[in-house]
């Protein structure tokens, strides 16, 4: 009797075959990226050629290791293993590593970074700084042991020995070179007294020159306040540093020539030209000033100087008249207010004076009633003892005591019996 297998059983059998097959454990494929849409974590797309398509999976860990951007239609070299996904019964390639095919990974990375930085505008001409006519101090970012620094020193000493060269010893190849190049560019800018900077190295492969293609170096050159001359590789070599630098030189010697005046004759010609320009400028300024003086000397003000202050005198007269009117108005206003106040104050003050006068009269009459001479005139007398003490009662005297009795017209002395 024929035994029928379930779909799951067959799929599991095929999966076990795939997993144990040594030829499928690691396969090397070349193909074209198809149906690629970047996802947050794991990536799912297809590899295809003219005759077939295979689904591909790249887990997030492997995908983050890529140093280039996947793009639709890109030809790649893939390494991975073939596996079956039982729920759907489909087989796919689980990719372990991926590199661009044909032009190479670095070339792809170069074009992708160039496209990105171009879109940001870092290579636009409007950002380029002009190189100085005379460079008193030149910073050089390169290896201290290569032919580059020797060529630069020789050329500068021959053409413009007054220039001072400051070398920033830099690793220009291999791991960590990009960070060191960018750091020394920043250090030179922090110093702040350089007229121009030369960065560069000798020729080599794209791998040797790659430090000058790193984004960190390109941005450091773009942010530099010092004009930068790029001299990387041979004349046919091109790096992203060349695109962003303010000027590019094919060789270190050419870079030194750009950083210095041309020849002694050129220096003399330049000095003569500057002298001529200065003379013409001063002559022009003197001519303009003389014309202005002539024009001013013929003006009405110089021929009739009194007209300078005519307007001011008229203005002074108007101000004096205005001040006089304002003063009169102020005085009249104050006089009117005084009269109004006086009209209200005098009646009130008169009543107060009359009341005070009546009260004073009353007090005066009260005082008159207390006057002793008035009392004595009515027949009363004032009796005092020898000490002048007033006698108020019979009990205040004793027999034989002498008393003074004051009357209206004099005083008598009496004895008590």
Distance, CA of 174 to CA of 143 (rounded, Å):
12
Higher model confidence: residue 310 or residue 272? 272
pLDDT exceeds 70 at position 132:
yes
Distances (CA, A) of 336 to 86, 328, 367: 116, 12, 46
User: pLDDT value at position 220?
Assistant: 95
For the question of whether the overall pTM of this predicted structure is more than 0.85, the answer is no
pLDDT exceeds 70 at position 375:
no
pLDDT digits (tens, 9 = 90+) for 341-355: 767 766 777 777 788
Q: Where are the alpha helices (DSSP H) in 224-299?
A: 240-244, 252-259, 264-297
pLDDT digits (tens, 9 = 90+) for 232-268: 888 777 889 999 999 999 888 889 988 887 666 666 7
pLDDT digits (tens, 9 = 90+) for 13-31: 888 887 777 777 788 888 8
Distances (CA, A) of 325 to 108, 316, 321: 93, 14, 6
Distance, CA of 37 to CA of 70 (rounded, Å):
9
Higher model confidence: residue 188 or residue 205? 188
Average pLDDT, the chain: 83
DSSP 88: T
């Amino acid at each position: 009797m024929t035994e029928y297998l379930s779909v799951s059983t067959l799929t599991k059998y095929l999966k076990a075959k795939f997993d144990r097959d040594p030829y499928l454990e690691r396969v090397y494929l070349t193909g074209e990226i198809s149906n690629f849409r970047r996802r947050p974590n794991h990536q799912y797309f297809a590899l295809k050629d003219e005759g077939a398509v295979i689904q591909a999976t790249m887990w997030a860990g492997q995908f983050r290791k890529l140093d280039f951007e996947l793009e639709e239609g890109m030809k790649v070299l893939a390494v991975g293993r073939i596996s079956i996904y039982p729920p759907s019964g489909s087989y796919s390639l689980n990719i372990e590593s991926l590199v661009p095919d044909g032009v190479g990974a670095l070339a792809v990375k170069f074009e992708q970074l160039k496209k990105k930085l171009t879109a940001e505008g870092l290579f636009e001409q409007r950002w380029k700084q002009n190189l100085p006519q005379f460079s008193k101090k030149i910073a050089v970012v390169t290896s201290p042991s290569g032919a580059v620094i020797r060529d630069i020193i020789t050329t500068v000493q021959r053409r413009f020995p007054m220039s001072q060269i400051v070398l920033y010893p830099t690793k220009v190849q291999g791991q960590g070179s990009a960070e060191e190049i960018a750091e020394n560019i920043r250090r030179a800018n922090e110093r702040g007294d350089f007229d121009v900077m030369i960065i560069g190295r000798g020729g080599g492969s794209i791998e040797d020159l790659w430090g000058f293609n790193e984004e960190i170096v390109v941005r450091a050159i773009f942010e530099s306040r010092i004009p930068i001359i790029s001299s990387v590789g041979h004349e046919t070599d091109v790096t992203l540093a060349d695109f962003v630098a303010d000027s590019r030189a094919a060789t270190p010697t050419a870079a030194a020539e750009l950083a210095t005046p041309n020849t002694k004759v050129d220096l003399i010609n330049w000095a003569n030209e500057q002298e001529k320009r200065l003379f013409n400028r001063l002559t022009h300024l003197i001519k303009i000033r003389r014309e202005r003086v002539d024009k001013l000397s013929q003006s009405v003000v110089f021929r009739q100087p009194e007209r300078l202050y005519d307007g001011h005198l008229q203005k002074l007269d108007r101000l004096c008249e205005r001040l006089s009117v304002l003063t009169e108005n102020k005085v009249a206003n104050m006089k009117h207010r005084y009269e109004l106040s006086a009209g209200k104050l005098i009646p009130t003050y008169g009543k107060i004076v009359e009341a005070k006068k009546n009260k004073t009269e009353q007090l005066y009459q009260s005082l008159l009633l207390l006057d002793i001479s008035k009392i004595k005139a009515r027949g009363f007398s004032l009796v005092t003892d020898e000490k002048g003490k007033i006698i108020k009662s019979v009990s205040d005297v004793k027999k034989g005591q002498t008393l003074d009795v004051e009357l209206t017209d004099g005083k008598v002395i009496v004895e008590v019996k």
